[in-house]
Chains A and B, each alone.
Chain A
Amino acid sequence: MFHWLEKNPFFFAVGVFVVIAYAGIVTVVPDFMESARPLKGVKPYTTLQLAGRQIYIENDCNACHSQLIRPFKSETDRYGKYSLSGEYAYDRPFLWGSRRIGPDLHRVGNYRTTDWNENHMLDPESVVPGSIMPKYGFMFDKSMDFDTAYAEAYTVKKVFNVPYDKPGMPKLGTYEEAKKAAIKEAGAIVADMKDQAVKDAYKKGDIKEIVAIIAYLNSLK
């Protein structure tokens, strides 16, 4: 056997790999299969939240904000419960980030509200003295992109079998239904906001980016 392996370097390499990787295979794979499943209660994003997530990615929020709370007391005191891998099951791609120039945002919806986010996005220093975060006032002018958000939701539903339209899960439905639902969801957020221009635009059926990003931030719990 050993003589044969010596003459067949490919199978020798496979054998070496299996021997070396054995510990990893038996400990990592079963654990990974289990923890990568969606946790109970984790739901896919609604189209409005997805649009906000796309804005989050577009503006590279993840370059300065992480979305991963490690199990240390110092972190859980500040940011809330530690993160579990099953919570990211519907994040494509996940936005863990690798740097914390700003604070972690994985549970920001638990301790920040619509009106706080509105003040903060318009002028961070008005609520956090000395903040180095840039102003995102343009989000109050730019309209959100519903079509791309719907396309993303539809794609992950068809390709990755994300459980939209299942019992207890967010409804996606047809384009018109989804648009109606997004407008309704945006209405609740606009009602909590103070900016008159955003409210006026909403009445005309135009949802601004700020509404979508706040919907996304509020959904991070």
Chain B
Amino acid sequence: MNWLNDNVNLLTLIGAAAIVILTVVIVGKYIKQMKTDKSTGELSGNKWDGIEEYKNPLPMGWSLAFIGVIVWGLWYWLAGYPLGTFSQLGQYNEEVSNYTKRFESKWANPDKDTLMGMGEGVFLVKCAPCHGITGDGMNGKARDLTTWGTEDHIVDVVLKGSSGQGYPLGQMPAGMLDKASATAVAAYIVQDLAKTGKSKHPELVEQGKALYATCGACHGNDGKGNGGSAPALADYGKAQFIVDVLNHGKKGSIGNMLKFNDGRLTDIQKTAVGTYVNSLNKE
């Protein structure tokens, strides 16, 4: 009989047999008692419609348990979990602050791999619904982030303008420069101002530097954005620039990007997103 080798089957059978045996023995005992037993003991003297009652003192164990529960109840109300002190939101706040503390101490000095992993995770949840899982903007439904941080993108922005970030100096109109000048400015920004790499057109850098005066009026000649009055172009192509976009939101010709500055993302997470988005550009 193979199924007896299974422990659970065996236990179940033993249990079933024990139940049957106990039932038979106990029921038999009471049936016998009902046939033969006579009631004995001291009566209390109370009578209700001919029904009388024995004097049965409360067992010691029950009395102790009863008193014990009263004592425990007082402790519970007054000291253990005092009345009116529980708060669901308080518990939530505690959970969040503990989590934040753990998070901040764990990721105080994240390395590049950590930032990339964290950035990808946040990107997939918060950014991918509009920018797509690969960041390609899903056929023009949002900014194609795989070209972000390149010279071509700077040219694109100069030609189309930029709006909706809510900087004090307002929006950038389209067509501040023509395409050739924009290409030169882009070369200057990438190679000299932001120093994110070698330009594709190194011969245009000097020309771009001269043309940058048009941009410098708002973005500052040092590219630092005039103390927060306009985006800091010196950060272009770096994680910090993305952090600024997350904090400011955008509203352009493609659509509206909301701000992410309401505490949904911590500063570390924003930097991580910036690092990840920056890596999407394969140039």
Do A and B pair up? The answer is yes
- Which positions in A face B, CB cutoff 8 Å? 71-73, 76-78, 80, 82, 110-116, 119, 126-129, 192
Judging by beta carbons under 8 Å apart, are B254 and A80 in contact?
Answer: no
Name the contact of B256 in the complex, choosing from A73, A80, A115, A128 (C-beta under 8 A): A115
- By a CB distance below 8 angstroms, the chain A residues around B257 are 113
Judging by beta carbons under 8 Å apart, are B256 and A127 in contact?
Answer: no
Closest A residue to B91 by CB, please name it.
A71
Judging by beta carbons under 8 Å apart, are B141 and A127 in contact?
Answer: yes
* 23 A–B contacts, CB within 8 A, in A order: A72-B92, A72-B95, A73-B92, A73-B96, A73-B99, A77-B264, A80-B262, A110-B262, A111-B264, A112-B129, A113-B130, A113-B255, A115-B254, A115-B255, A115-B256, A116-B130, A116-B141, A119-B141, A126-B138, A126-B141, A127-B138, A127-B141, A128-B129
Supply 15 further A-B pairs (C-beta < 8 A) apart from A115-B254, A192-B256.
Answer: A71-B88, A73-B95, A73-B99, A76-B92, A78-B125, A80-B262, A82-B92, A111-B126, A112-B129, A113-B130, A113-B255, A113-B256, A115-B141, A116-B129, A128-B129
Does B89 interact with chain A (Cβ within 8 Å)?
yes
Does B258 interact with chain A (Cβ within 8 Å)?
yes
B40 to chain A, nearest CB (A): 33
> Which interface class (under 10, 10 to 19, 20 to 34, 35 or more) fits B?
20 to 34
B232 to chain A, nearest CB (A): 25
- By a CB distance below 8 angstroms, the chain A residues around B22 are none
Q: Which of A77, A82, A128 has the most CB of B within 10 A?
A: A77
- By a CB distance below 8 angstroms, the chain A residues around B130 are 113, 116, 127
A23 to chain B, nearest CB (A): 10
Q: Which of B89, B91, B99, B256 has the most CB of A within 10 A?
A: B256
A106 to chain B, nearest CB (A): 14
Judging by beta carbons under 8 Å apart, are B255 and A192 in contact?
Answer: yes
- By a CB distance below 8 angstroms, the chain B residues around A82 are 89, 92
Closest B residue to A111 by CB, please name it.
B258
Q: How far is the CA of A79 from the CA of B130 in the complex (A)?
A: 16
Q: How far is the CA of A112 from the CA of B142 in the complex (A)?
A: 12
Closest A residue to B260 by CB, please name it.
A111
Judging by beta carbons under 8 Å apart, are A80 and B255 in contact?
Answer: no
What mask results when residues 77 to 106 of chain B are scored 1 for a CB within 8 Å of chain A, else 0?
A: 000000000001101100110010000000
A84 to chain B, nearest CB (A): 9
Judging by beta carbons under 8 Å apart, are B89 and A110 in contact?
Answer: no
Judging by beta carbons under 8 Å apart, are A113 and B258 in contact?
Answer: yes
Q: How far is the CA of A119 from the CA of B126 in the complex (A)?
A: 17
- By a CB distance below 8 angstroms, the chain A residues around B16 are none
A75 to chain B, nearest CB (A): 10
Q: How far is the CA of A73 from the CA of B96 in the complex (A)?
A: 6
Q: How far is the CA of A82 from the CA of B90 in the complex (A)?
A: 12
- By a CB distance below 8 angstroms, the chain B residues around A77 are 264
What mask results when residues 241 to 255 of chain B are scored 1 for a CB within 8 Å of chain A, else 0?
A: 000000000000011
B225 to chain A, nearest CB (A): 25
Closest A residue to B141 by CB, please name it.
A119
Name the contact of B129 in the complex, choosing from A73, A76, A110, A127 (C-beta under 8 A): A127
Closest B residue to A71 by CB, please name it.
B92
A20 to chain B, nearest CB (A): 17
Closest A residue to B90 by CB, please name it.
A71
- By a CB distance below 8 angstroms, the chain A residues around B255 are 113-116, 192
Does B133 interact with chain A (Cβ within 8 Å)?
yes
B120 to chain A, nearest CB (A): 16
Closest B residue to A126 by CB, please name it.
B138
A80 and B258 in contact (CB under 8 A), knowing A71-B92, A116-B129, A127-B138? no
Q: How far is the CA of A127 from the CA of B256 in the complex (A)?
A: 15
B91 to chain A, nearest CB (A): 8
- The 8 A-B residue pairs with the shortest CB-CB distance, nearest first, are A115-B255, A71-B92, A113-B256, A73-B96, A73-B95, A119-B141, A116-B130, A71-B89
- By a CB distance below 8 angstroms, the chain B residues around A126 are 138, 141
Closest A residue to B126 by CB, please name it.
A111
- By a CB distance below 8 angstroms, the chain A residues around B96 are 73, 76
- By a CB distance below 8 angstroms, the chain B residues around A78 are 125
Closest A residue to B99 by CB, please name it.
A73
- By a CB distance below 8 angstroms, the chain B residues around A115 are 141, 254-256
Q: How far is the CA of A174 from the CA of B146 in the complex (A)?
A: 52
Closest B residue to A128 by CB, please name it.
B129
Q: How far is the CA of A154 from the CA of B99 in the complex (A)?
A: 47
Closest B residue to A112 by CB, please name it.
B129
Closest A residue to B264 by CB, please name it.
A80
Q: How far is the CA of A142 from the CA of B49 in the complex (A)?
A: 79
- By a CB distance below 8 angstroms, the chain A residues around B256 are 113-115, 192
